[in-house]
Amino acid sequence: MEPADLGLGDSSLHRYLDGEFWSLKNELRGLLGGCPLFRPRYDLSLDEMRTLTFQRVTFTMGLPLLKRAIQDQVEKTRNFVSRSLVIGEVLSMADMATGVKCGIIYWLFGGAIRSLGGPAHVTQWLQPLQEQKYTGMFAMTERGHGSNVRVIQTEATFDFSAQEFVIDTPCKNAEKMYIGNAMYGNYAAVFAQLIINGRSQGPHCFIVPVRDENGSLYPGVTVVDMMHKEGLHGVDNGILRFDSVRIPRENLLDKFGSVGPDGQYHSPIKDKSARFNAMLAALTPSRLAVTFQAMGSMKLGLTIAIRYSHSRRQFGPKAREEVKIIEHQTQTLRLMPHLATALALTFASRYAGTLLDEDIFRGKELVDSRPLQALVAGLKAYSTWENVSCLQDCRECTGGMGYMMENQISGLKCDTDVFVTFEGDNVVMLQVVVRELLAQYTKQCEERPVSSLLRNWVESGSDRLRTSFLAFNMDTVGHLTFLLKAVHFRERILQRGLVARIYYKVMTEKEDFFSAWNSCLHHITCLSLAHIHRVTLEQFCLAVRNCPDQEDQDLLKQRLAPKRYLLHLCNSVKDDALRVISAFNISHASLHAPIAGFANPNAAWVLYPAPQHSLAGERARSPRPKLGAKL
Amino acid sequence: MEPADLGLGDSSLHRYLDGEFWSLKNELRGLLGGCPLFRPRYDLSLDEMRTLTFQRVTFTMGLPLLKRAIQDQVEKTRNFVSRSLVIGEVLSMADMATGVKCGIIYWLFGGAIRSLGGPAHVTQWLQPLQEQKYTGMFAMTERGHGSNVRVIQTEATFDFSAQEFVIDTPCKNAEKMYIGNAMYGNYAAVFAQLIINGRSQGPHCFIVPVRDENGSLYPGVTVVDMMHKEGLHGVDNGILRFDSVRIPRENLLDKFGSVGPDGQYHSPIKDKSARFNAMLAALTPSRLAVTFQAMGSMKLGLTIAIRYSHSRRQFGPKAREEVKIIEHQTQTLRLMPHLATALALTFASRYAGTLLDEDIFRGKELVDSRPLQALVAGLKAYSTWENVSCLQDCRECTGGMGYMMENQISGLKCDTDVFVTFEGDNVVMLQVVVRELLAQYTKQCEERPVSSLLRNWVESGSDRLRTSFLAFNMDTVGHLTFLLKAVHFRERILQRGLVARIYYKVMTEKEDFFSAWNSCLHHITCLSLAHIHRVTLEQFCLAVRNCPDQEDQDLLKQRLAPKRYLLHLCNSVKDDALRVISAFNISHASLHAPIAGFANPNAAWVLYPAPQHSLAGERARSPRPKLGAKL
Ligand SMILES: Cc1cc2nc3c(=O)[nH]c(=O)nc-3n(C[C@H](O)[C@H](O)[C@H](O)COP(=O)(O)OP(=O)(O)OC[C@H]3O[C@@H](n4cnc5c(N)ncnc54)[C@H](O)[C@@H]3O)c2cc1C
Ligand SMILES: Cc1cc2nc3c(=O)[nH]c(=O)nc-3n(C[C@H](O)[C@H](O)[C@H](O)COP(=O)(O)OP(=O)(O)OC[C@H]3O[C@@H](n4cnc5c(N)ncnc54)[C@H](O)[C@@H]3O)c2cc1C
């Protein structure tokens, strides 16, 4: 479809928000927008929905643009991560279940092969994904172990004489659970304890055939359908059980641990636990993909809620003079901060993507980029929680209309709710962040104990001055630099407090580490969120400073509101909000909520007028409070 | 079914939490628990789900216990409101859509007749509901007006010669929208502008026949199916349009305004706006019913999440020694406060029900009980928001399992999400509360300006002393009296601040009231919530103090935790939590979540062991922090 028909734009702001790969995004929007398969359906049974999703996935993975993306992953072409991330974002906005299923195939199955396998595996298993000869799944979680996957119980026992691994599910708790694409997929990347001569080398990943091309299960494999979920009805999740399933020795993805024909185990990493960490780290990009999907969902929800709020009228100074609901202070106050967060996350997650690309391009193992892993873990938790709360507010702010499926918001809510859980439970992710922060802290102190302590002291000294009551006048508080310092300060205070508490508990009180850590969990989650807020804010500030167009910059700058001005600012930005959401550049094919002013043939009953939003109106800005922000 | 088979108890705590009507509740639990219609189904199409819900509703309304409830409403038997409220709570826990549909028939349609009609209407329309000769709907909302129903546009024009009203939908915005039971119901209680001789007397309620007993629409009536929603799939919502539908003069529910055969309009309330207020006030009980349904939903969700948290293990000091997830500090911290809220709301909403019953029994018009209306509005907003946040935490705290429909939580979430919107949007409800608080304040000041100002001053003086740094030692803060004072103080400060701001804006700055009010909306919602928190806390304290059994009292007292002790307390109450949820007395027929340890034949794959929870274990209490609360 033509960009114009889909309502796509390419103004400077559109391009800045879409980022470097804006034209790739537009291309995909055009391709999906023209495909009738993506028309929304709410009337299908579970089976029908899965069949439709299968067709959508097949169509999508068949696009040359997607084949190219797989080839890029094969070749580790420069920036392939960032490009795949934006593809995932656009796709999720067309249909979340399709986005998730493609993610399973591309990021989880494909990503496991690329990052845990050797070149031969890539040629054998990843490359052919382009031709859709088969599809894959990713089988890590077990009934007994979701967050704590280190102790999964599936076994891969090496049979020397046959030169094969025997995959087994020794007990009920070892069943692979929730596995996406379990009802369709042909191969699974299965994590199992690698056992040689009765001794486990820890979890490794194996390619296990599950179904032949006709869809018949191979002997020894059992699959149970997990059926109905809150959302993502198009994604088929199931349970996998293995009963002496034999696979060739070569099916071990052996980058971090291999078994020779002689049955000897080799690994570049001696420590079992460190080895598994390296594997998990290599899977980091797929975690960031969830953040991009969550952002897509926030942008969609906000676009619908803000457009409706600019057209729906209710109450007013006189009975017949009702105001647009966006004029009610609470309405603005509920929606504008989410819009700011969506923008901030756009830049922070893009930044993380760039870092990942750099590392991978330079051949650096991700396990050696611990701060980056922590960043991605933190962004995953922050963005998916923000998405839940954003969509909830969008739902509520659109009144009864928001509860109707045709208006998209509640469907999105159900589909994305699980984001806080899968790809790493958020509470566990926050602990990953803090573990890294503490490691950094300890390292700093060890390397240059005196100077670093001194620096910390000096820094906190100056912070204290600025936050003292004396310095607390409006101008200073209004400064963005002050805000940045404040979030920095909060993070440091929390960090130092935590270190002191854990140190005291472990060293002085002789508590075991597990219980000391556990009794600080609340502190830990606060620190973790403080950290990720700070990083996100910094990236947002940088992005605003680097924005090439002055007018766009002004528009973005307003979203950087210190809390003090919140009421005032929310009010002043609400009109410009229409311009910002339009620069999200969402294809009209993905926006079919009648309340946002888009005709939906399935729900003619509910069409609302589009918000009045002429270009002239767009430019006529409302007066802004002087922020005096120094960027 | 026998109580024992359903896991029902009648210990002192069970009875105290169930309240005065515990045996009624148990009776209904038994009746519903024995009915195979209530087995959970997730595999049905929209039509099938609606048909099943229709059968469930028919079964339920056919129970002698429910017939009796209708007769009680007819006769305004003492305490009929409280009894119906608990019936609604139990029913919603069996199936939320059934609860909501029965609510439409009993509270909304039936309630409109009882409270807006005269004795003849009650005999003609309410009484026959017992025999299920027909079912009703409640048609107030229009496409153009949801929250601002005062300006609905449906017209009821009096035709003198025919002695009839002519019901018309003059424009698209006047269409009745979201009307529950629209696809099945026979009669609708329709709100329309009453027009005599071309002049409107404001909105009144009319009984309009929609379908005959065979389900055929009457001429002039059009119904459009609104189809798919986030939840409540069993509830059929639709759009109603009227084209010159003629109804007899007697179909006007004429308690607050009647039209004589001579075409003369009479009303005990002269002011049009005050008249409509009286009608809305009369409908207050149905709003409180939503709070009871929200509580039912919270109790169910918490029971499932807490039981699972006491059986699921993940992570631990050593690989093979995993702890129950309830042992993770964050898990307790996320669940225990909701449990406390559910308990507090139990008593606060019971209190509101008692007040309603007293007023109705004494024949007092509810419009004259403005504080009570405000209380109910506030409880509706507070409880439904708490429910959303509670279920979200329950969903997240049960990990991937919480996302599976069989485990009930996500279905409950979708079903009850709309509670924040219907029966009065929560943001609008909060404004109802504050309007009343300000009216009280003004009245107080007018009646005894000097003394009341003086009292305020004295009170704030002593408050200030207590919250000053000097008095801020642990003991004082730990006192419950301190907590109560603190929430009181917060409320008063917010109230005085608001009065001053509005006064300044309107009197000094000459702003119009609408915009002055609107620019304080954030302040208003804070005050409103502060008020309702205070009332809820007070009721909870009272309930604890009045608890007849010492051991039960101790158990409840712990839930009254000042924030300061939160971490500590959450930890110490988590074991007793199993006892508290078991005293929620939820029928095992309503609890079919396998993760809570209940076998579910539809999802054998997901059975988890029940938490170990022997009576001995129950009694062995964990040591408690000294709260020193003075109750
Ligand atoms: C499933 C379902 C069942 C229903 N069943 C029935 C039924 O049987 N009978 C019936 O008559 N109705 C029914 N309703 C309608 C329901 O009562 C309305 O949806 C509700 O009153 C809200 O109105 P609205 O949807 O028009 O939202 P609006 O009033 O348009 O509100 C939209 C947004 O504007 C905000 N807003 C509006 N006014 C203000 C203000 N003054 N200050 C601040 N913010 C404001 C709201 O907070 C909300 O965020 C049902 C609705 C649903 C979804
Ligand atoms: C729709 C869906 C699709 C999925 N797809 C796949 C897939 O394709 N492949 C795959 O391998 N897996 C998949 N999963 C599994 C998913 O990754 C797990 O659900 C997730 O890792 C969480 O594990 P769990 O459900 O066992 O929860 P648990 O780990 O049991 O967590 C339960 C609760 O305990 C808390 N908790 C656990 N540990 C701690 C701790 N240390 N500190 C504090 N709190 C803690 C959690 O916060 C949570 O509240 C999917 C899940 C779902 C729901």
Nearest Cβ partner for B229 among A226, A316, A405: A405
CA of B579 to the centre of ligand 1 (A): 38
Question: Which pair of structure tokens corresponds to residue B264?
Answer: 């003369």
Q: Mean pLDDT over all residues of chain B?
A: 90
Mutate to test the pocket of ligand 1, among B148, B226, B422 (most ligand atoms within 8 A of CB): B422
Nearest Cβ partner for A146 among B400, B404, B427: B400
The position carrying tokens 């798919």 is B228
- What's the average model confidence in pLDDT over B326-354? 96
Distance from CA of B429 to the nearest CA of A (A): 13
The alpha carbon of B494 is separated from its chain's Cα centroid by a whole number of angstroms, namely: 26
- The H or E element that residue B513 is part of is helix B513-518
CA of A420 to the centre of ligand 2 (A): 9
pTM: 0.94
Packing angle, helices B426-447 and B521-546, rounded to 10 = 80
Contact check, Cβ <8 Å, B226/A525: no
Distance from CA of A70 to the nearest CA of B (A): 29
Nearest Cβ partner for A421 among B141, B396, B422: B396
Q: What is the pLDDT of residue A448?
A: 58
| Closest ligand 1 atom to Cα of B237 | 3
Distance from CA of B398 to the nearest CA of A (A): 9
Is B196 in a helix, a strand, or coil?
strand
∠ Cα A595 A597 A601 (to 5°): 85
Rounded CA separation A381/A420 (Å): 7
**Quick one: which ligand is closest to A180's CA?**
2
Is A187 in a helix, a strand, or coil?
strand
Nearest Cβ partner for A230 among B43, B315, B414: B414
Question: Which pair of structure tokens corresponds to residue B311?
Answer: 């059986």
Answer left, alpha or beta for residue A449, where phi above 0 means left and psi between -120 and 50 means alpha: alpha
Contact check, Cβ <8 Å, B426/A512: no
A140 lines ligand 2 (CB under 6 A): yes
Among A301, A278, A279, A294, smallest CA distance to A346 is for A294
Among B272, B280, B288, B286, smallest CA distance to B147 is for B280
Cβ burial A204-242 (10 Å sphere, 16+ → b, else e): bbbbbebbeeeeeeeebbebbebbbbbbbbbbbbbbbbb
Rounded CA separation A183/A214 (Å): 12
Helix ranges restricted to H, A178-327: 272-282, 284-309
Question: Residue A303: beta bridge partners?
Answer: none
Q: What is the pLDDT of residue A626?
A: 33
**Secondary-structure percent of chain B, ordered helix, strand, coil, rounded to 5:** 60, 10, 30
Contact check, Cβ <8 Å, A45/B45: yes
Answer left, alpha or beta for residue B562, where phi above 0 means left and psi between -120 and 50 means alpha: beta
The position carrying tokens 């929730």 is A178
What 8-state DSSP symbol labels residue A405? G
Cβ burial B151-164 (10 Å sphere, 16+ → b, else e): bbbbbbbbeeeeeb
Confidence check: pLDDT of B461 > 50: no
Nearest Cβ partner for B421 among A42, A141, A403: A403
B261 lines ligand 2 (CB under 6 A): no
Contact check, Cβ <8 Å, B239/A567: no
Q: How far is CA A33 from CA A36, A202, A207, A228, in A?
A: 8, 46, 35, 28
Name every chain B residue with its beta carbon within 8 A of the beta carbon of A46. Answer: 43
Contact check, Cβ <8 Å, B413/A230: yes
Instruction: Find the largest Cα–Cα distance for chain B.
Output: 88
Per-residue pLDDT tens digits for B109-118: 999 999 999 9
B149 lines ligand 1 (CB under 6 A): no
Among A151, A143, A199, A135, smallest CA distance to A171 is for A143
Determine the residue type at A113.
I
Q: What is the pLDDT of residue B557?
A: 82
Name every chain A residue with its beta carbon within 8 A of the beta carbon of B426. Answer: 396
The alpha carbon of A300 is separated from its chain's Cα centroid by a whole number of angstroms, namely: 15
Mutation pick from A178, A228, A529 vs chain B, by most beta carbons of B within 10 Å, is A228
Contact check, Cβ <8 Å, A400/B421: yes
Q: What is the pLDDT of residue B68?
A: 97
Contact check, Cβ <8 Å, B147/A567: no
Residue nearest to atom 23 of ligand 1 (CA): B146
CA of A399 to the centre of ligand 1 (A): 5
Rounded CA separation A397/A324 (Å): 12
CA of B71 to the centre of ligand 2 (A): 50
- What's the average model confidence in pLDDT over B323-340? 95
Determine the residue type at A167.
I
Residues of chain A with confidence (pLDDT) below 70? 1, 447-479, 561-565, 606-608, 612-631
Residue nearest to atom 2 of ligand 1 (CA): B178
| CA dihedral for A534, A539, A542, A547, sign (positive or negative) | negative
| Closest ligand 1 atom to Cα of A397 | 49
Residue nearest to atom 26 of ligand 1 (CA): B146
Is A267 in a helix, a strand, or coil?
coil
Question: Residue B138: beta bridge partners?
Answer: B189
Q: What is the pLDDT of residue B318?
A: 83
**Quick one: which ligand is closest to B427's CA?**
1
Integer Rg of chain A from CA: 26
Name every chain A residue with its beta carbon within 8 A of the beta carbon of B329. Answer: 518-522
Parallel/antiparallel/unpaired status of strands B258-259 and B265-266: antiparallel
Confidence check: pLDDT of B336 > 50: yes
Rounded CA separation B296/B306 (Å): 15
Confidence check: pLDDT of B378 > 50: yes
Contact check, Cβ <8 Å, A42/B228: yes
What 8-state DSSP symbol labels residue A63? S
Is the CB of residue A24 less than 8 Å from the CB of residue A83?
yes
| Closest ligand 1 atom to Cα of A403 | 53
| Closest ligand 1 atom to Cα of A329 | 43
Q: Which are the contacts of B407, defined by CB distance < 8 A and separation ≥ 6?
A: B304, B398, B401, B593, B594, B595, B596, B606
Question: Residue A196: beta bridge partners?
Answer: A199
What 8-state DSSP symbol labels residue B259? E
A397 lines ligand 1 (CB under 6 A): yes
Nearest Cβ partner for B421 among A224, A330, A396: A396
Name every chain B residue with its beta carbon within 8 A of the beta carbon of A228. Answer: 42-43, 404-406
Strands (E), B187-251: 187-196, 199-209, 221-225, 237-242, 245-248
CA of A502 to the centre of ligand 1 (A): 50
Is A248 in a helix, a strand, or coil?
strand
Mutation pick from B389, B396, B407 vs chain A, by most beta carbons of A within 10 Å, is B396
Contact check, Cβ <8 Å, A314/B151: no
CA of A487 to the centre of ligand 2 (A): 30
DSSP B64-126: HHHHHHHHHHHHT-TTHHHHHHHHHHHHHHH-HHHHHHHHIIIIIIIHHHHHHS-HHHIIIII
Contact check, Cβ <8 Å, B405/A521: no
Residue predicted with more confidence, B65 or B4: B65
Question: Residue A158: beta bridge partners?
Answer: A165
Q: What is the pLDDT of residue A602?
A: 73
Q: What is the pLDDT of residue B449?
A: 52
Per-residue pLDDT tens digits for B501-538: 999 999 999 999 999 999 999 999 999 999 999 999 99
Is A321 in a helix, a strand, or coil?
strand
DSSP A490-525: HHHHHHHHHHHHHHIIIIIS---HHHHHHTTHHHHH
Among A353, A320, A283, A299, smallest CA distance to A106 is for A283
Question: Which pair of structure tokens corresponds to residue B24?
Answer: 């009624």
A104 lines ligand 2 (CB under 6 A): yes
Name every chain B residue with its beta carbon within 8 A of the beta carbon of A396. Answer: 420-421, 426
Q: What is the pLDDT of residue A460?
A: 46
**Quick one: which ligand is closest to A518's CA?**
2
Name every chain A residue with its beta carbon within 8 A of the beta carbon of B603. Answer: 227
Find, in chain A, the residue whose alpha carbon is nearest to that of B388: A392
Is the CB of residue A399 less than 8 Å from the CB of residue B425?
yes
Contact check, Cβ <8 Å, B147/A399: yes
Question: Residue B221: beta bridge partners?
Answer: B242
Packing angle, helices A370-397 and A329-361, rounded to 10 = 150
Other C-beta atoms closer than 10 Å to the C-beta of B622 total: 10
Per-residue pLDDT tens digits for B397-446: 999 999 999 999 999 999 999 999 999 999 999 999 999 999 888 887 77
Find, in chain A, the residue whose alpha carbon is nearest to that of B411: A230
Contact check, Cβ <8 Å, B395/A417: yes
Per-residue pLDDT tens digits for B46-93: 999 999 999 999 999 999 999 999 999 999 999 999 999 999 999 999
